[in-house]
A and B are shown apart, each in its own frame.
Chain A
Amino acid sequence: MTASALMQILASGLLMGLIYGMVAVGLSLIFGLMDVVNFAHGEFMMLAMYATFGCFVFFHIDPVLALPLVAAVMFIFGASVYVGVVRHALRVKVNAGMVQIFATFGLATLIQGAAQFFFTPDYRNIGDNGWLGGKTLELGGLFLPLPQVFGAVVSLIAFGGLYLLMKHSDFGRALEATREDKGAVALVGIDSNRVFALGWGMGAALVGVAGAVLSTFYYIHPQVGAAFGTIAYITVALGGFGSVFGAFAAGIVVGLVEALTAVVLPPAMKSMGIYVLYLAIIFLRPQGLFGRL
């Protein structure tokens, strides 16, 4: 393994890691807010990918421009999922945990089935037809695919924006307060239902941005959520459930570990590095790198 090849693997791992972080952060946000794990997270991403693809095919809007549009649509979708499904699941008096799990799990199955029915299981691809597709930045022997560079930049902007929003806006403070004590915020006049709905909207919008970015270089398929969903759960557990910065850092760690494991071990076992890390975290620091329990 030459030094330049190693650099290439590290660079690719870093780029993918930033995208993993963006896929995962919505999940972390929702969990942090209300202790609900959204098992349909990967399916949200898949829908966003199809939305981007639809914009491209029917309205000739390039994914780069469609990105804010898709995020807005996903925001509305996420908020409606809260209002239409999760809110009811939260109201149950017995077995609340199970009901929440099955509500989002059922939603995932429904979305997958509907996607296969309406979009057919054919593989879709924007690929080279988009502005970024197939273009590569070459820096002294280092190949950086432009779609992934774009994804990494969007990820940095998204995390930056999210940080500002969480720390320096009323909404961010309301979010933080609701998460600390749902009863107390109701007393000071914050409608927790509204905050939750906005939280779900934001979570979905963030994974929507990730989906739009991914659709510039990844295939689109009703099952595509599964591959990224698993990585999102590991990333969130590693970074700490509920921690936005944790998702960012853990995304990068997962990307790098995955890329490096493929160098050390046979590539068939490359996910093993991530799982080993995951287990180590569970045993040694169950709250995750940046989580609070």
Chain B
Amino acid sequence: MKRRQVLLGAGAAAVLQGAWTEALAQGKEVVVGAIYPLTGSSAQVGIDAKQAFETALDIINNASALDLPTARNAGLANLGGAKVRVVYADHQADPQKGRSEAERLITQDGVCAIVGCYHSSVSTTVSATCERYGVPFVCADSSSPSLSRRNLKFFFRTAAHDEMFSEAMFDFMDALKAKGQKIGSVGLFYEDTIFGTDSSTVQRKLATDRGYKIACDIKYRNNSPSLTAEVQQIKNANPDVLMPSSYTTDAILLTNTMASLGYKPRNIVAQAAGFVEKPALDAVGDKLVGMISRASFSEDMGEKRASAKAVNAMFKAKAGRDMNDQTSRQFSALMVLAEAIDRAGSVDPRKIRDALAATDIPGEKTIMPWSRVKFDATGQNTFANPVLIQWTKGRFVTVYPFEVATAKLAWPMNA
């Protein structure tokens, strides 16, 4: 071996050594995928989701005094302070795009888990892909009940599904009837993808079981340029409670069309989605005063959960708006996932899966009204108690369950 070669070798070794210690000092990186609509008609949801995840990362990756899992120290303690990084992918509300993006994140970016996807239709394909590759999928904000009924081993849903939500709605109506209100009929109005159809299936069954007449049952095409004929049918039926399941565009159009046809629904109990989105409330909020929606979160949650207020402030500083039903669930999903990765002490997807399955976080350590986070055999968190919130002038207040209500219920919405 010549002297030059020895020098070269030694030099290379020194460089490698340097790189290695640097890598150790920085700690390993934990890469998580997030698949959301970043362009297309639901783009704002994805952009808000990004801010929710960045808020969660601020808490996970930096030392914080908040009483949330993984908050105390910087990074994940059991992985030597490794930082979590989220890689974003865009599904444009298209299940096929969601599938291919999931594949790309798993095979090329090497993510150890995926969070998503807002649209239930996309969560369906993404979770199936994750299952095939053996990578955990944490469903943050898709609420179709059928998602957790496919015997998937790698599927976990932190928030409630529409059956739990709809049950709360009917419990609420039953309670009102017991108090002497007259509620005879409900009107179902839902969009034609898996979110709307699943939601209506549950509501139809609950209404029949509990003796409510279904005054109208209208499935409509989402993103329609006009909803006049549909609203005319609702107007003719004039149900005591209108129960819409709609995304943002349709929620705006429905509200405007009802107003222009001179129809004031007696009551609205909405399956969240478009009806709790800021753009819809900015646009037509004045016509929706008194509307009730199911929710996982409301701004007044800070009165019950100390950390909720602080987290909302952090989020608001980034996004310029309060946390809502969606963003709070996205935030919580990433926190639950980070806690599981930390407990697994590994980035091996299978170990993370087992850690998720063993998750048991008390409700006080979340920002949600949940009593705890604990998954059943199907991967559903059965302790995610839903609440109902009512839109008053400019803000939501919690009105049901009555024991956690922060304001007095206004009923009916339009006499």
Contacts and interface: CB of A to CB of B under 8 A. Distances in A.
A267 interface: yes
Given A12-B226, A116-B43, A121-B47, A217 B260 contact: yes
Contacts of A2: 236
B224 A270 contact: yes
B19 interface: no
B248 A16 contact: no
Interface string A164-195: 00000000000000000000000000000000
Contacts of A96: none
Interface stretch (B65-73, B175-183, B278-286, B347-355): B278-286
A8 interface: yes
B219 A268 contact: yes
B16 interface: no
B225 A219 contact: no
Contacts of B221: 267-271
A228 interface: yes
Nearest to A271: B221
A227 interface: yes
A122 B283 CA distance: 10
A136 B262 contact: yes
A134 B228 contact: no
Contacts, number: 115
A130 B82 CA distance: 54
Given A116-B39, A267-B233, A271-B221, A122 B44 contact: yes
A263 to B, nearest CB: 6
A247 B259 CA distance: 30
Q: How large is the interface on A (under 10, 10 to 19, 20 to 34, 35 or more residues)?
A: 35 or more
Contacts of B226: 12, 16, 258-259
Q: Which of B192, B228, B253, B282 counts the most chain A CB atoms within 10 A? A: B228
B220 A267 contact: yes
B252 A5 contact: no
Interface string A119-143: 0111111011000001010100001
B232 interface: yes
Interface string A201-238: 00000000000000001110111001110010000000
A12 B229 contact: yes
B97 to A, nearest CB: 15
Nearest to A125: B283
B252 A219 contact: yes
A36 B115 CA distance: 44
A16 B225 contact: yes
A219 B229 contact: no
Nearest to A11: B228
B260 A136 contact: yes
Contacts of B228: 8-9, 12-13, 16, 259
B249 A219 contact: yes
A124 B252 CA distance: 10
B252 A262 contact: no
B100 interface: no
A84 interface: no
A145 interface: yes
Contacts of B58: none
A52 to B, nearest CB: 15
B44 A267 contact: no
Contacts of B286: 128
Contact of B279 (A122, A143, A259, A266): A122
B252 A123 contact: yes
Contact of A125 (B218, B223, B236, B282): B282
Contacts of A228: 225
Given A125-B282, A125-B284, A217 B256 contact: yes
B230 interface: yes
Contacts of A145: 260-261
A123 B248 contact: yes
A127 to B, nearest CB: 6
B219 A267 contact: yes
A33 B249 CA distance: 35
17 contacts: A1-B236, A5-B235, A8-B261, A9-B229, A12-B228, A16-B228, A121-B47, A123-B280, A127-B256, A138-B262, A145-B261, A217-B256, A226-B223, A227-B223, A258-B229, A267-B219, A267-B220
Interface of B: 39-41, 43-44, 47, 192, 218-221, 223-226, 228-230, 232-233, 235-236, 248-249, 252-253, 256, 259-262, 279-280, 282-284, 286
